[in-house]
Structure 1
Amino acid sequence: MIAQQAQALSNWGASENNQIYDREIAALFEQPRIDPLSHYLEQHNNDESRARHLRRVLEERERRCENIAGEYAAQAKTAANLSRFSRGYDYSCPAQVQRFAEQIERPTPSSAAVLVSTTATPQPRAHLPAPTASPTASTQLERQQVNNCYLLFTIKNYRQAQDACRAPAEAGDAKAQYKMAVIANALKQYPEALKWARLAAKNTAEGRYQLGLLYYRGHGVEQNHAEALKWYEQAATQGLASAQYQSGRMYAQGQGTAANPRKARSRLSQAANQGHREAQTRLGHMYLAGDGGTADVTSARQWFLKAARQGAAEAQYQLGQMYARGQGVPQNNAEAYVWLSLAEQSGEAQAAPLLERLRPEIDEAQIAQAQQNVRKTLESQR
Structure 2
Amino acid sequence: MLEQDPAKADNGTGKGFYRLGEFFENGLDSLKPDLREAIHWYRKAATQHNHLHAQLTLGLIYLAEVKRGVTGSASNYAEAARWLRKAADQGHPEAQVLLAVMHLEGLGVRESESEAEAWLEKANQDGLAVSKDALRERLQITPFRDWDFAQWRVWR
TM-score (norm 2): 0.70
In structure 2, the residue matched to 1:247 is 58
Structure 1: gaps spanning 5 or more residues: 1-190, 325-382
**Cα deviation, residue 299, structure 1:** 1.0
What is the 5 A alignment of 1:224-263?
224-238=34-48, 239-254=50-65, 258-259=72-73, 260-263=76-79
Cα separation, 2, equivalents of 1:242 and 1:215: 16
In structure 1, the residue matched to 2:91 is 275
Q: Give the root-mean-square deviation of aligned CA atoms.
A: 2.6
Deviations 1:36-77 (A, max 9, x none): xxxxxxxxxxxxxxxxxxxxxxxxxxxxxxxxxxxxxxxxxx
User: Is the partner of 1:211 in helix, strand or coil?
Assistant: helix
More deviation, 247-256/298-307: 247-256
Cα separation, 1, equivalents of 2:94 and 2:9: 24
Assess if the C-alpha contact under 8 Å between 1:305 and 1:319 holds in 2: no
1:285 aligns with 2:93: no
Structure 1 residues 242 and 323: CA distance shift in structure 2, 3 A: closer
**Cα deviation, residue 195, structure 1:** 5.5
Deviations 1:337-369 (A, max 9, x none): xxxxxxxxxxxxxxxxxxxxxxxxxxxxxxxxx
**Cα deviation, residue 231, structure 1:** 0.9
Assess if the C-alpha contact under 8 Å between 1:251 and 1:257 holds in 2: no
Structure number with larger C-alpha Rg: 1
**Cα deviation, residue 212, structure 1:** 0.4
**Cα deviation, residue 258, structure 1:** 4.3
Assess if the C-alpha contact under 8 Å between 2:25 and 2:35 holds in 1: yes
User: Is the partner of 1:209 in helix, strand or coil?
Assistant: helix
User: Is the partner of 1:280 in helix, strand or coil?
Assistant: helix
For 2:64, the aligned partner's letter is Q
Q: Following TM superposition, where does structure 1 have runs of at least 4 consecutive aligned residues deviating by more than 3 angstroms?
A: 194-197, 255-258, 317-320
Assess if the C-alpha contact under 8 Å between 2:120 and 2:130 holds in 1: no
Structure 1 residues 217 and 283: CA distance shift in structure 2, 3 A: same
User: Is the partner of 2:28 in helix, strand or coil?
Assistant: coil
Cα separation, 1, equivalents of 2:53 and 2:135: 27
Assess if the C-alpha contact under 8 Å between 1:199 and 1:207 holds in 2: no
User: Is the partner of 2:111 in helix, strand or coil?
Assistant: coil
The one of the two structures with greater contact order (alpha-carbon pairs below 8 A, sep at least 6) is 2
1:321 aligns with 2:130: no
Cα separation, 2, equivalents of 1:298 and 1:230: 34
For 2:54, the aligned partner's letter is A
Q: Percent identity?
A: 33
1:198 aligns with 2:6: yes
1:219 aligns with 2:28: yes
Assess if the C-alpha contact under 8 Å between 2:92 and 2:126 holds in 1: no
Structure 1 residues 257 and 226: CA distance shift in structure 2, 3 A: farther
1:265 aligns with 2:81: yes
Cα separation, 2, equivalents of 1:216 and 1:265: 20
TM-score (norm 1): 0.31
Assess if the C-alpha contact under 8 Å between 1:226 and 1:257 holds in 2: no
Structure 2: gaps spanning 5 or more residues: 138-156
Structure 1 residues 226 and 322: CA distance shift in structure 2, 3 A: closer
